[in-house]
A and B are shown apart, each in its own frame.
Chain A
Amino acid sequence: MPIDMIVNGEAKQSAADPMTPLVDVLRDEFHLTGAKPVCREGFCGACTVLVDGEPRAACLTPAGLAQGREIGTVEGLSAGGRLNPVQASLVEHDAVQCGMCFPGMVVTLTHFLAQTPRPSRDQVRAALTGNACRCTGYERIVAAALDVAGA
């Protein structure tokens, strides 16, 4: 049975087995390669996407659980080809190095800052416990997030 979902506002249908990780459906079937399967065990956050508006690990989400849901990927966060404020701030702070973690960082931080407009440094750090970055050492990422919040 095909799986129906709305991806970045567009109705999509997947023919994948329902136990296929959602990240593979997004990348291999829908060619949205922003979310990345890196650890495939929920630790690194590189596969983070929005499911009904909330960040989830797409590597541990079976495609069958996406039936009837709205999925948002990093590709959907820059409307009209313009960077969103989180992306722009990360560029400004020169926080992006290899870029592996960034699609997930952007999805997590965009959602977090919408929920918590004036976060403390500790709140930002806690929000990022599921997003690992091997390159920057987090300081610039946290600074970029606090900057967006005007904190």
Chain B
Amino acid sequence: MTASPSFYAASSLPAALDALAECGAEGAPLAGGTWIMRAPIRHEPLKPIYVGLGGVPELTRIEETDGALAIGAGVTHSALGEAIAGRPELRVLAEAAGRSANPAIRRAATLGGNLCTADFAAADLVPALLCLDAEVEIAARGGTERLPLAAFLDLRQSLEPGRLLTRVLVPRSAAFSAHARLPLRKAGDYPTAIVSLSITRDAAGRIAQARIAVGSVETVARRWTRLEAALAGAPLDAEAAHHMATELADEFVGRDGVEAPGWYRVSVLPVLVRRAVIALH
């Protein structure tokens, strides 16, 4: 007989870390539950124990700290979208958080859950935060470490039990940003491809630095560094950016999925780049 899964609602960060350390590989955190609760549909087993993070106040804070915005991992998509609305440098993140999924899901789904789901290629917050050069803070009973988001994406599959993503740090900048995503229907389903863009301009209005991240095309989102280099010093022009993206898109190997084949995901990238640049104006 398999015991039915149990649930422990942690009321503080130390309590959550203790509980996770004690459960070891038997346990996992549960934030909004919007991914975990679909395990039966994906024919995946549930863990024997879940440590509920909903009652951990440390995880739901959003604060300005030393040169960065620190966002708690338990902040929901809807709370995040509302908290940062109206800031051009963070617009990419506000749109990723405020337009993904549907309103009821956005009220439950958290930033931490979006970043920690290793087998979820279409996560909107991942490319948005990559183009913002975000870092993540990982806590365990023994202490806390900070690492770039890209490094975390590489190791999250093998994250040791007992670790918790506690905060995401977004460095302050004077950039302009935009998020372009392509769901097959107008809204409500996963994006087939995502382009997140953050740009600073020089005195002449040309692109000083471009940071571009691509999500949902390959299994893990990543920066498009060749396009970033090509755009540096160029005028901010949607057609030119579209053209450069077309030339460079062959470096992506799209993943095949039920909603779209891999080649299609790659083929829409230049259009998404153009839309993102237009959205900057």
A binding-site residues for B, Cβ under 8 Å: 17-19, 21, 40-43, 45, 48, 54-57, 59-62, 64-65, 67, 108, 126-127, 129-132
Quick check: B50 and A19 within 8 Å, CB to CB? Answer: yes
Alpha-carbon separation in the docked complex, A19 to B9 (Å):
12
**Interface status of B33 (Cβ within 8 A of chain A):** yes
- Expressed in whole angstroms, the Cα–Cα distance for A19 and B37 within the complex equals 8
Q: Whose C-beta in chain A lies nearest to the C-beta of B49?
A: A19
Cβ of B189: which chain A residues have Cβ within 8 Å of it?
43
In the complex, chain A residues whose CB is within 8 Å of the CB of B188: 43, 129-130, 132
What's the tally of chain B residues with a CB closer than 8 Å to chain A? 28
A39: min CB distance to chain B, Å? 9
Stretch at the interface among B103-111, B120-128, B157-165: B103-111
Q: Verify B4–A55 contact, CB threshold 8 A.
A: no
B contacts, CB < 8 Å to A: 4-7, 9, 30, 32-34, 36-38, 40-41, 46, 50, 52, 54, 101-105, 107-108, 187-189
| Complex Cα spacing A48 to B40, Å | 20
Task: Output the least CB separation between B78 and chain A (Å).
Answer: 9
User: Which residues of the other chain, A, contact B101 by a CB distance below 8 angstroms?
Assistant: 42, 130
B37 x A60 contact (CB < 8 A):
yes
CB-CB under 8 A from A19, the residues of chain B are: 4-7, 37, 46, 50
Given A19-B5, A21-B37, A65–B54 Cβ distance below 8 Å? yes
Q: Are B108 and A56 in contact (CB under 8 A)?
A: yes
6 contacting pairs across A/B (C-beta < 8 A): A18-B7, A19-B5, A19-B6, A19-B50, A62-B36, A131-B102
Residues in A neighbouring B105, C-beta threshold 8 A: 42, 57, 60, 130
